[in-house]
Amino acid sequence: MNQQIHFGMRNYKFLILSTVLFLGCKTISVEEKSLPPITIFMIGDSTMANKKNPDTNPERGWGQLLNQFFNEKVTVKNHAVNGRSTKSFRELNHWQSVHDSLQAGNYVFIQFGHNDGKETDPVRYTNPQTSYRYNLIRYVEETRAKEAIPILFSSIARRRFNEQGVLLDAHGNYTLMARLVAQELNVPFFDMQYLTENMEISYGVEASKKLHLHFAPGENDYFPEGITDNTHLSVLGATEICKLFVEELKKQNSILVNYLK
């Protein structure tokens, strides 16, 4: 009799545990299904942009690979363009098409700086303390006016080691200004320069070449004459930057974490 009671209690506990686990799984499933679909617009320069001929071209912008890290609820629309600054992106009408498409709840990832520092190019150059700062503010305010959500990014680091193996800064005050604008306007900020500097250093002077485009003549069919490019990204480099972004999303406890694969 006691054995029967013991056996019955054991079955009863197992039934309760199974029910709890089942309900828990059902809750998670319902929560995932209830997430609204979102669209992420990306505006920036060549380090973010989609590259042509991906079957043969070894170069990637990190925005080109970002959709691989999100689930089917997310649509990534990468509007970043090679060579653009906060100034030329607007003046060449790239921003207008994005702005016209924005709807409430959309996200806009904003990452400029590489080309804003082109001091010999009046089409692209911006003073970090003045026009660059106000260009960022304008992008943020116009995004919010459409009830969309802006996120600011500092530029990724360039692979710029000196003879002693020290990675040098390549962006001056542009990163500082992006951070200050984010603080002033209460915008989420991702310091990609800091994160990618650490990545470059962790790979080291030689191995970090794999993050970029380093090919000897005849080594790659797309660059038959060879290439040494310490700014733009290989598939590995772009993938690693996406991973850095995902980890930072988690640290910032962003709602976008719910949309990760």
Q: How far is Cα 157 from Cα 113, in angstroms, rounded to an integer?
A: 11
Structure tokens at 182: 């984010």
SS3 content of the chain, % helix, strand, coil (to 5): 50, 15, 35
The residue assigned the tokens 């069919």 is 221
Take residue 162 and report the two structure tokens written for it. Answer: 């000196």
Q: What angle do CA 235, 240, 245 make, to 5 degrees?
A: 125
Joined tokens for residue 122: 């009046």
Q: 168-219 pLDDT, tens per residue?
A: 999 999 999 999 999 999 999 999 999 999 999 999 999 999 999 999 999 9
Q: Cβ(112)–Cβ(89) under 8 Å?
A: yes
59-60 and 107-111 strand pairing: unpaired
The runs of H, that is alpha helices, within 35-170 are 62-65, 86-91, 94-101, 133-145
Average pLDDT of 46-66? 98
Using a cut of 0.75, tell me whether the model's pTM lies above it: yes
Query: Which pLDDT does position 120 carry in this prediction?
Result: 97
Query: Please, what sign has the CA dihedral across residues 12, 15, 21, 24?
Result: negative
